[in-house]
Amino acid sequence: MADLHFLANPARFRRFSQRVVPSLSVATALMLAVGLYLALLQSPPDYQQGDTVRIMFVHVPSAWLAMAGYALLAGLGASLLIWRHPLAALMARAAAPVGAGFCAVCLLTGSLWGRPMWGAYWVWDARLTSMLLLFFLYLGHIALSRAYDEPDRGDRAAAILALIGVINLPIIKFSVDWWNTLHQPASVARLGGPSIHPSILVPLLWMAATLFLLFVLLVLLRTDTEIDRRRLENAEQQA
Amino acid sequence: MATPLLEVADLACRRGGRRVFERLSFSLGPGELLALTGRNGSGKTTLLRALALLIRPDTGSIHWQGTDVAAEPDAWRGRLAWLGHLEGLKADLSVAENLLAAERLRGAPPAGDRLDSALVAFDLSVLARRAMRTLSAGQRRRTALARVVLTQAPLWLLDEPLNALDAPAQAAFRGALASHLASGGLAIAATHADLGVAGARTLELGEPQKASA
Amino acid sequence: MSGFVALVARDLRLVWRRPGDVAVVLAFFVVATTLFPLGIGPEANVLARIAAGVLWCAALFAALLSLDRLFAADFEDGTLDLLLLAPWPLELAALAKCCAHWIVTGLPLAVLAPLLGVAFGLEPAVLLALSATLLVGTPTLSLIGGLAAALTLGARKSGALLALLALPLCVPTLIFGAGAVEALATGGDFRAHIAVLAALALVALATTPWAIAAALRQAGE
């Protein structure tokens, strides 16, 4: 968040992103290549889950990033409402679909994993259900920020929503866990067990770092686009 | 001229990335009227809303008796009477109910005989029990003006107060405004027409920014 | 405080002038609930099993349906400006609006739900429990829905958007509301559920008025 103060000015952000994006793209691509090797070839299949365990290398980091992404939206929302940083609004606009994308990837990979493990594409597992609700929160944020003719109003409404959403996320998570234990016995195999062998942990963390870089890269690129779009709209209005 | 009660310094507002006005400064003393003129879209409404703290200005300050109004916003709101484009009247309530509801929302005690005199001033006594929905545009405007008078607030902020008013109603408004000013009140009104106040100052908003005040 | 009371009184009086608006919402609740046995089939044990969930979901939808106009009417006729300009905290005004909404929807829903529960074959004790959960839970729905209504003020397609915003946030209340009734029916801890419902209402009470006020202020800009 400290970086945001430095980057509050769109022009300065533009210079920063233009310097960072090329090297970040190369780094992400290289890390992804290594990560895929680690995840698909180097790591052993799970004695219980077989090769399906490899889905975890995408699924788990996506879940982390989806949650971190919503926290980022809340942080950006606070910085827009309190300090009126113009860039915060644009970055939130850019980040919300990326976060929603990771959330969707998490849900899709979860259901692909669920088919062989649970025998069904969708099981009302507590974690999957919480993720689904997080996805809905993302959808609400995206829809609200784009629901106004004046983009400023959408930005600020979405910022308020993100702040209330982030307060409610733990409550939603807690109640879904409660609901789940109330309604069904513990699953045969839960997503991501408590003890993970290093041969799986290393590729998992590596992929997490890779996808984190991808997340940052996408947000930077999309923020750049949003800056252009907003300038264009302003120019059109004044013409 | 008495010492100014209201001092506005270096006010600037931006709407949707467009600068509406900037470096706007004026001051207003007891009994003074400031008429805001300028073409459509020149920022008259924006200025009124900024003065009422409905819009956060980009720069500048508003002082009342030397205190920044943003420091005590509730006290400032208590000093304002507001008349916007929209009357702020409920279609399903009667004239009297609307006036009483507005007074109570300001936290003031029910108006009693003040209500009657406000109704009389704008020739609304016979309409008092009629539902707002059944009234004409001019009758609604008169009700809204009666609401402004009822507040007994020292500063009136009026957006096109003469809109939709016929000649007798305009005269009634001029009378109410004159007695408000005579009792030391202040008023800022966006208007195209003459409000009939001798010595009223004008502030023309628009591209070549010239503040006469 | 007098402003708060005045605003609640004004909104109740407005509803009194147009009782049809509330009647439509309650009629929706009744009709929507009746559709479930028609869709699922009349087996008594199945209906009794799903009754709490169905009634809670229908109550949630009915509450949302009526929220569309909560601030929109004030926004359109200019009274929102008067609320923004009232010399007392806007947070209290937000609370007053939600309070009035609860009195004319949450409260009647809580009264109506047990009557519909009879049609689902619920025991008298369970009917009372259902009513109690709605009494404790619907204020949260009014507050969260009020926030969604304030956020979508002046937006395009505000009705559907309002539901999209409010529904995920209402999930905890739904879970514990319906869960409480089920807990009573299956010998679980009913009181614990009610306590959590009350806690959820308190969290909503502590957070939403500020958010609603912020949303209304930016709608006034």
What is the rounded average pLDDT of the residues A169-190? 73
List CB contacts (< 8 A) between B16 and chain A: 150, 152, 234, 237
Number of domains in chain A: 1
Chain A partners within 8 Å of C202 (Cβ)? none
Six token digits for residue B5: 């009660």
Quick one: what percent of chain C has pLDDT higher than 70?
100
What is the predicted pLDDT for the residue at A150? 85
B199/A contact by beta carbon, under 8 A: no
Query: Does residue A89 surpass a pLDDT of 80?
Result: yes
In which residue ranges of chain B is pLDDT below 50? Answer: 1, 208-213
CB contact under 8 A, C161 and A176: no
Residue A9 domain-assigned?
Answer: no
Tell me if C151 sits within 8 A of A144, measured CB to CB: yes
pLDDT at A2 over 60: no
Of B100, B118, B117, the closest CA to residue B109 belongs to: B100
What is the Cα–Cα distance from B180 to B163, expressed in whole angstroms?
20
Over residues C76-103, the mean pLDDT reads 94
Query: Which chain B positions have a beta carbon within 8 Å of A233's beta carbon?
Result: 17
CA distances for C171 relative to A124, A171, A184, B202, C210, angstroms? 14, 9, 18, 57, 21
- Tokens 């669920």 map to which residue? A114
Domain range list for chain C: 2-220
Residue A186 has pLDDT above 80, yes or no: no
Instruction: Output phi, psi for B30, to 5 deg.
Output: -60, 140
| pLDDT exceeds cutoff 80 at A213 | yes
Q: Determine, yes or no, domain membership for A10.
A: no
Residue A188 has pLDDT above 50, yes or no: no
How open is the CA angle A233-B24-A238, to the nearest 5 degrees? 15
Q: Which of the pair, C159 or A162, is modelled with greater confidence?
A: A162
Mutate to test the interface with B, among C12, C17, C76, C85 (most CBs of B within 10 A): C85
User: Could you tell me if residue A141 is inside a domain?
Assistant: yes
**What's the pLDDT at B212?**
41
User: Which of A25-39, B190-204, C132-146, C181-195 shows the lowest mean pLDDT across its residues?
Assistant: B190-204
The residues, ordered by sequence, that sit 6+ positions from C108 with a Cβ below 8 Å of its Cβ are C22, C26
CA distance A122 to A119: 9
Kindly tell me if the per-residue pLDDT of C140 is higher than 70: yes
Would you call B101 and C6 a contact, using CB atoms and an 8 Å cutoff? yes
Q: Does the structure show a pLDDT above 70 at C180?
A: yes
Task: Look at residue C37 and give its three-state secondary structure.
Answer: helix
Give B187 or A47, the one with higher predicted confidence: B187
Q: Decide: residue B208, CB within 10 A, 0-12 exposed, 13-18 middle, 19+ buried.
A: exposed
Q: Which residue has the higher pLDDT, A184 or B136?
A: B136
Kindly list the residues from chain A whose CB atom is less than 8 angstroms away from the CB atom of residue B18.
234, 237-238
Cβ neighbors of C196 (< 8 A, separation 6 or more) are A175, C176
Q: What is the pLDDT of residues A104-114, one digit of tens each?
A: 999 999 988 88
Binary contact (A143, C200; C-beta < 8 A): no
Range A176-197 average pLDDT: 63
Assigned domain for A21 exists: no
Cα of B20 to nearest chain A Cα, Å: 12
Domain around A159: 56-187+198-225
Residue A4 binned pLDDT confidence (cut-offs 50, 70, 90): very low
In terms of CA atoms, which chain B residue is nearest residue C13? B93
**pLDDT band, very low/low/confident/very high, at C205 (cuts 50, 70, 90):** very high
Which pairing describes strands B186-190 and B155-159: parallel, antiparallel, or unpaired?
A: parallel
Tell me the C-alpha distance between B84 and B45, whole Å. 8
Domains and CATH numbers, chain B: 1-79+155-162+186-213 (3.40.50.300)
Q: Which residue has the higher pLDDT, A144 or B58?
A: A144
For residue B84 the two structure tokens come to 């916007």
